[in-house]
Amino acid sequence: DADVTQTPRNRITKTGKRIMLECSQTKGHDRMYWYRQDPGLGLRLIYYSFDVKDINKGEISDGYSVSRQAQAKFSLSLESAIPNQTALYFCATSDGSGEKLFFGSGTQLSVL
């Protein structure tokens, strides 16, 4: 079983819809992150959380919100999806030791 699990793996939605991407981990890490990958732009940080009560905006947080329901769960929401949010989304965890990230398999989101 994967240590960092993202659901769904693929999602197609329409402009204006609310959508939630979920991430759960069994690594016992406190730190969790959401990144977005666009072709030619690499991965950009959306939100990060260092524990359940600690949530911080990243480089590109506009249009997104997050919820850290438990140490193991970190969800990303798009309140009103728009086409330029079409991207590959990655959840990652870290134990804070040397900042190595452990990534989920990604969620490919398409907003029509």
Enter the tokens of residue 26: 């069994």
* Smallest gap from residue 32 Cβ to other proteins (A): 11
* Smallest gap from residue 38 Cβ to other proteins (A): 9
Report yes or no: 111 and 82 within 8 Å, Cβ to Cβ.
yes
Q: For other proteins, which is the closer residue by CB, 41 or 112?
A: 41
Residue written as token pair 């990652």 = 92
Question: Which residues sit at the interface with other proteins, rule CB under 8 A?
Answer: 33, 35, 40-45, 48, 50, 56-58, 88, 90, 96, 98-103, 105-106, 108
